[in-house]
Amino acid sequence: MNIVEANNLVKIYARGSEKIYALNNISFSIKKGEIVSVIGQSGSGKTTLVNVLGCLDNPSIGSLKIDGQEIFKNTDFVKENLKFSEIELTKIRRKFFGYIFQKFFLIPTLTVKENILLPSVFQKQFIVDEKRLNDITEMLGISKRQNHLPSQLSGGEMQRVAIARALINNPQILIADEPTGNLDSKRSSEIQELLLNLNKNHNITIILVTHNLELAKIGNSIIELFDGQIKKN
């Protein structure tokens, strides 16, 4: 079953009077439990694609289905057939997605535990699922760091905390935007192991954006972008 279905996605930015096609007619689908790597040079449209797929942004034209639900559908520029509001997009994000980024974006005044639990604050889940928290931190090897502040952690540990935070609400799709960009090669391979493990043992679909070709190889499929278009599938 396809968890993501993208058809003819177009994203246009205006730079003065010039129109930039960040995404130009992109179609593909991702099956549940797959790892898909998105590669390409800087400015090729990787991040734009992932933001649209991750419901952080709307495309200009095209259609997008997540888990069979139509999120966006637009056949031309003039008429909008279907577009979710920001609040609706937020709810979709809560339900399906976890995100990790190159920068870890941990809140410095909150402990590791509090940072991990942050997404549940906005879902009004005030009762902490301690078992899930412990399972995740155990798996990521940061269980003993729960009461530390981010400033007391190494870069690799911080990224693990960011991953734990992305996983806490049990997402179906994990969006990882250059997850190893800030790490040395040893830590990078550790994170790589982790992602594979998550995919295998927890059946999480992973959309992985990277310019690291070694890392990209863990994908079941690789999408290479060039000037907003898919080069190879």
Partner 1 sequence: MNIFQLSYKNLLRRKVRTSFTVIGIIISTWVLVTLLGFNKGYENSLNNDIDGMGFQIVLTAKGCPYEAATLMLKGGTGLRYMPEEIVKEVNFAEEVDKTTAMLMHAEFDPNKGENGGTIVYLGIDPDTYPEMKPYLNFKQGNWFNEKSVNEIVLGYEAAELEQREIGDLMLILGSELEFKVVGVLNRTGTQDDGMIFLPLKTVQEIFDKKGELTMLGIRLKRDADISAFEEKLYELPDIQVVSMAQVKNTIMNLVSSAKVIVFSIAFIAFLIAMFGVLNTVLMSVFERYQEIGILKAMGALPKDIFNIILIETALLCSIGGIIGIIFSYLFSNVSEIAIRHFLPFTPSGSLIKVDEKIAVISFFAIILIGIIGGIYPALHASNIRPLDAIRSDS
Contacts with partner 1, residue ranges (CB under 8 A)? 47, 51, 54, 56-57, 86-87, 90-91, 93-94, 99, 101-103, 105, 107-110, 114, 117-119, 121-123, 126, 165, 169
In angstroms, give the least distance from the CB of 121 to partner 1.
6
In angstroms, give the least distance from the CB of 182 to partner 1.
11
Q: Residue 25 — left, alpha, or beta (φ > 0 → left; ψ -120 to 50 → alpha)?
A: left
Q: Give the nearer residue to partner 1 in terms of CB position, either 91 or 132.
A: 91
In angstroms, give the least distance from the CB of 34 to partner 1.
22
Q: Give the nearer residue to partner 1 in terms of CB position, either 68 or 108.
A: 108
What letter does residue 108 receive in the DSSP assignment?
T
In angstroms, rounded to a whole number, what is the distance separating the alpha carbons of residues 108 and 40?
33
Quote the tokens at residue 4: 């993501």
In angstroms, rounded to a whole number, what is the distance separating the alpha carbons of residues 203 and 19?
40
Q: Report in angstroms the alpha-carbon separations of 142 from 164, 201, 222.
A: 9, 19, 31
Q: Give the nearer residue to partner 1 in terms of CB position, either 4 or 162.
A: 162
In angstroms, give the least distance from the CB of 103 to partner 1.
6
